[in-house]
Amino acid sequence: MARWQPGAPQRLVVAAVDLFTEQGYDATTVAQIAERAGVTKSTFFRYFSDKRELLVAGQETLSRLLADGITEAPADAKPLEAVAAGLERASSAMGPANRELGPRLKAAVAASTELQERDALKSVGLAAAMTAALVARGVPDPTAHLAGELGVLAFKRGYAQWCDGERDEADGLAPYVLSALEDLRAATASLG
């Protein structure tokens, strides 16, 4: 099962979010983040192009897992069943460290327009990855586009509920995300 690397990148993310929370995003430098994480600046730049990228660490991994799950879903899976398979695959990459980080990350993003913009573009990227994987399965437009957007909504809503919920170490992200997807699917019936 894929997991976030527990090495330097993860330490850098934790150090950055701590510093953003303590002293604000603008006042935090790459040098401070590297020092807090116990690595050199050049190690920082091996993993991230700048401090903003830290907050979307894992976007490429997530996109790949979402797309792989969709691609490898059974041939007769309906669009949202394939999306559920992608979400399950991606959720498996999110462990206790991600859950711990969630609320602090949310606070840092809420306090910075720049981070909100980067975060919004991340969602666009995840939706695009799912939409492309659905199109490759033969799902027509706009169903593929719609299903990809529902997938992102479900991931974000489930992740927020996971971070807000009771802490139970054994409790993975997947059930939250799949439940959010089911809620959204059910809601399509009351759109009118």
Of 1 and 186, which CB lies nearer to a copy of itself in the complex structure?
186
Of 17 and 127, which CB lies nearer to a copy of itself in the complex structure?
127
Is residue 138 near a copy of itself by the rule CB under 8 A? no
Among residues 36, 106, 137, 145, the one that binds a copy of itself under rule CB under 8 A: 145
What does the per-residue mask of binding to a copy of itself show for 91-120, with x meaning CB under 8 A? ----------------------x--xxx-x
H/E stretch holding 191 reads none
Is residue 74 near a copy of itself by the rule CB under 8 A? no
Q: Which residue from 94, 86, 96, 118 is spatially nearest to 170, judged by alpha carbons? A: 96
Q: Which residue from 51, 48, 47, 161 is spatially nearest to 102, judged by alpha carbons? A: 161
Q: Which residue from 103, 119, 105 is spatially nearest to 164, judged by alpha carbons? A: 103
Of 1 and 191, which CB lies nearer to a copy of itself in the complex structure?
191
CB atoms within 10 A of CB 180: 22
Among residues 81, 95, 106, 171, the one that binds a copy of itself under rule CB under 8 A: 81
CA 151 to chain CA centroid, nearest Å: 11
Of 15 and 66, which CB lies nearer to a copy of itself in the complex structure?
66
Q: Which residues of 34-43 are buried (b: 16+ CB within 10 A; e: fewer)?
A: bebbebeeeb
CA 152 to chain CA centroid, nearest Å: 9
Binding site for a copy of itself (CB under 8 A): 77-81, 113, 116-118, 120-121, 123-124, 142-143, 145-147, 149-150, 153, 157, 180, 183-185, 187-188, 190-192
